[in-house]
Amino acid sequence: MHRPVAVVALLVLAAIVVAGLLGGRVAPYPVNAIDLAHVNQAHAPTLAGKHWFGTDYLGRDLFSQTLYGLHTSLLAAFVVAGAAALLGTLVGAAAGYAGGAVDAVLMRGIELIVSVPVIAVLLASLAYFAVLTPGKIALVLSLYLWTSVARVVRAACVTLREREFVEAAHAAGASAVRIIARHLLPNCFGTIVVATTSIFGIALTLEATLDFFGVGTQQSSTGGPTLGNLIADSSKFGQLQDAPWWTYTMPALVLIVLLTCVNFVADSFDDALN
């Protein structure tokens, strides 16, 4: 984290995440508040006016809409990253420390899950649930993305279990759970952080993609939009290329900056910890 670019990315990421988590508390307007002066006529962004990101065709402030959308998307991504990290760490540590048949069975299961394309998993989930809420999307993505964490944790534990301090703990009579919790996982912390950060970015991308194509979270199910909803909404009154540029550019730009910062931070953590 000594590189200037990494520091800037971390600061920008922190600012976006804080603004998104606060959501309605920092938004200048309620989520569906309408400016009657701009109904049926989208207003361009202006720093001098009341609408920094402009308004949509209904007169709603896009800056406020983006903050609400960021809030929903971030919560889903945090849930996915946290759940995937927890499950992947437990399975990966168990496979890496136990070895033998346990390792073989768990890794074959992981390979089976990874062999299924993510688009197939999402389409099957849509067919099963009919309507995908943020919670259901988070559940599906968590049960699919945890495998990447399990793989890297397992690889780290396979190396660590041969180290002297692990053998000493085993000789002293420490249980497998104690060895994993006290000796293996603390030494895998950097690996887990990097993998979890990457999953956070992947979850944001997949969630926004589902919402953009209209098969993910619907605004009616959350009371507010997601970033993918906002980008897709700009084409509701015609073709996307005919919509005012700011109605899709502003939320898309926030998503791009967010994902770029996440990738920079993940790479920087990887360089610093390895």
What are the 10-residue block averages of pLDDT along the chain, 274 residues in total?
A: 78 93 84 74 74 82 90 92 95 92 94 90 85 84 93 92 87 88 89 92 90 72 75 66 79 93 86 72
pLDDT in tens, 92-103: 999 999 888 999
Best CA proximity match to 66, nearest among 220, 236, 247, 237: 247
Place of tokens 């953590």: 269
Domains of the chain: 4-23+60-273 (1.10.3720.10)
pLDDT computed for residue 249 by the predictor: 87
Report CA torsion sign: 95, 96, 99, 105. positive
**CA 14 → CA 11, 59, 201, 265, distances in Å?**
5, 30, 14, 11
pLDDT computed for residue 211 by the predictor: 85
Residue 45: which region, alpha, beta or left (left: phi > 0; alpha: psi -120 to 50)? beta
Query: CA torsion 257→219→58→237, rounded to 10°?
Result: 80
In this structure, what token pair is assigned to residue 162? 């041969």
The whole-angstrom separation of Cα 264 and Cα 270 is 10
The whole-angstrom separation of Cα 3 and Cα 201 is 21
